C-alpha cells in the first residue's frame, strides 16, 4: 500500500517509521524542504518533498500538521488526490477538524492516535510510539464504512487499540484526561516557580524527584500544542477547568476548617476512582 504523510514532525515521522517497517511505501510531505530531506536521509520515508503533488497516487493520506493547518492542508491536497483515496488526520481535537474536513473530502475519517512525547519535529520521531496506545476514530453518519475500516486496520497494525465515537464525545473525554491535566500540570510548575523565598525555591528544585517529574511532565511539553488544544477545544476545556477549580476549593475549605474527616473522605474516594481511569485495556 502507498501511504502519504503530510507534516513530518513527532507524530508524522513516527507514523512513517512504523508504516514503513510494516512494508508500506511511505511518501512524506513537509512544509520545509530541509525536513523532507532529513526524513529521506534517515530512512523515515521512501520519498519526500515540500510539494503536495508527491501524493498523487496514494491510497491513504495522514494529515499530521499542527491543528491550525489540517483543514487548509486538505484543501490544498484535494486537487492532487486519487478519487478513492482515504484521508485521515491525527489532530488532538476532533469536532472542529471533522466539521471543516468532511465537506472537503468524502472519504475523510477523523483520527487521534493518543501517544506522544515531550519532543517535537522530525528529530523526535521514534518507532513503536503507538503500540498499546488508544487510537480514536470519529466517523460521522456521512463517513463511508470502508474508509473507517481502512484506517482502523492500519491503526491495529501499529499495535494500537481502536475506539470509535462521535467527534464531540472525543473532545469532551480528552478535555478530562489530556487537556485538563496539561493545564493543571503547567499550573503546578508556574505555582512552584512563583515561590518568593529564594532559599526555599532553591531547595525545592534540588529535592524535586519522581513525584514532581510525574505531575509536571505534561505541563512541560510543547507550548504550541497546549495553545492549540485550548483554542480548538475551548468549551470542553473551560468546563473541565471550572469543575477542577471547584474540587480544589473543596480541598482548601476542608484544610482551612481542619476538617480532616472530610479531607480523608475525599482522598479515599479519589484513591478508588484513579484505578477506573487506568485500567488495563483488556479489563
Ligand atoms: P510537531 O512535532 O511540531 O510536527 C508538526 C510538523 O508539521 C512540523 O514538524 C512541521 O514540519 C510540519 N508542518 C507545520 N505546518 C505545516 C504545513 N502547513 N504543511 C505541512 N507541514 C507542516 O507536532 P506533533 O506533535 O507531531 O503534532 C502534529 C499533530 O499531531 C497535531 O495536530 C497534534 O494535535 C497531533 N497530536 C500530537 C500529539 C503529541 O503528543 N505531540 C499526540 C497526538 C496527536 P516542518 O519542519 O516542515 O516545518
Q: Are strands 86-89 and 108-109 parallel, antiparallel or unpaired?
A: parallel
DSSP state, 113?
A: E
Can you tell me which atom of ligand 1 is nearest the CA of 113? 43
Q: For ligand 1, say whether the CB of 6 is within 6 Å of any of its atoms.
A: yes
Q: How far apart are CA 230 and CA 236, in angstroms?
A: 9
Please give the pLDDT value at position 139: 98
Q: How far apart are CA 170 and CA 137, in angstroms?
A: 9
Nearest protein CA to atom 42 of ligand 1, as residue:
116
Calculate the dihedral angle through the C-alpha atoms of 31, 130, 275, 266, rounding to the nearest 10 degrees.
Answer: -10
In tens, the pLDDT along 47-61 reads 999 999 999 999 999
Q: For ligand 1, say whether the CB of 39 is within 6 Å of any of its atoms.
A: no
Q: What are the two backbone dihedrals, phi and then psi, of residue 279, each rounded to the nearest 5 degrees?
A: -65, 150
Please give the pLDDT value at position 282: 47
Q: For ligand 1, say whether the CB of 240 is within 6 Å of any of its atoms.
A: no
Q: For ligand 1, say whether the CB of 129 is within 6 Å of any of its atoms.
A: no
Q: How far apart are CA 3 and CA 151, in angstroms?
A: 11
CB 222 within 8 A of CB 117: no
Please give the pLDDT value at position 283: 42
Is the pLDDT at 278 greater than 80? The verdict is yes
pTM, two decimal places:
0.94
Q: For ligand 1, say whether the CB of 92 is within 6 Å of any of its atoms.
A: yes
What pLDDT band is residue 281 in, cutting at 50, 70 and 90?
A: low
In tens, the pLDDT along 2-30 reads 999 999 999 999 999 999 999 999 999 99
- Tell how far the Cα of 279 is from the centroid of ligand 1, in angstroms: 29
Please give the pLDDT value at position 69: 97
Please give the pLDDT value at position 169: 98
What pLDDT band is residue 117 in, cutting at 50, 70 and 90?
A: confident
Amino acid at each position: 500500500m502507498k501511504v502519504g504523510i503530510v507534516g513530518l514532525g513527532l507524530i508524522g515521522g513516527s507514523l512513517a517509521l512504523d508504516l514503513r517497517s510494516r512494508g508500506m511505501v511511505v511518501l512524506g510531505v513537509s512544509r520545509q524542504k530541509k525536513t523532507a530531506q532529513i526524513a529521506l536521509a534517515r530512512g523515515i520515508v521512501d520519498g519526500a518533498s515540500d510539494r503536495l503533488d508527491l501524493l498523487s497516487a496514494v491510497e491513504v493520506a495522514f494529515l499530521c500538521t499542527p491543528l491550525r493547518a489540517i483543514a487548509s492542508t486538505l484543501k490544498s491536497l484535494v486537487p492532487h488526490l486519487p478519487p478513492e483515496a482515504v484521508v485521515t488526520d491525527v489532530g488532538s481535537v476532533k469536532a472542529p477538524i471533522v466539521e471543516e474536513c468532511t465537506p472537503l473530502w468524502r472519504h475523510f475519517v477523523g483520527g487521534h492516535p493518543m501517544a506522544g512525547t515531550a519532543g517535537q519535529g522530525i528529530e523526535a520521531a521514534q518507532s513503536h510510539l503507538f503500540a498499546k496506545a488508544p487510537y480514536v476514530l470519529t466517523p460521522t453518519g456521512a463517513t463511508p464504512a470502508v474508509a473507517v475500516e481502512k484506517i482502523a486496520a492500519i491503526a491495529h497494525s501499529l499495535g494500537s487499540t481502536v475506539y470509535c465515537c462521535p467527534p464531540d464525545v472525543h473532545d469532551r473525554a480528552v478535555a478530562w484526561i489530556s487537556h485538563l491535566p496539561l493545564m493543571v500540570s503547567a499550573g503546578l510548575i508556574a505555582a512552584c516557580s512563583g515561590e518568593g523565598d529564594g532559599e526555599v525555591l532553591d531547595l525545592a528544585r534540588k529535592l524535586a524527584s519522581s513525584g514532581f517529574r510525574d505531575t509536571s511532565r505534561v505541563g512541560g511539553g510543547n507550548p504550541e500544542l497546549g495553545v492549540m488544544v485550548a483554542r480548538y477545544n475551548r468549551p470542553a476545556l473551560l468546563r473541565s477547568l471550572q469543575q477542577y477549580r471547584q474540587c480544589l476549593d473543596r480541598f482548601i475549605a476542608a484544610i482551612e476548617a481542619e476538617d480532616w474527616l472530610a479531607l480523608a473522605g475525599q482522598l479515599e474516594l479519589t484513591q478508588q476512582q484513579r484505578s477506573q481511569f487506568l485500567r488495563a485495556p483488556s479489563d
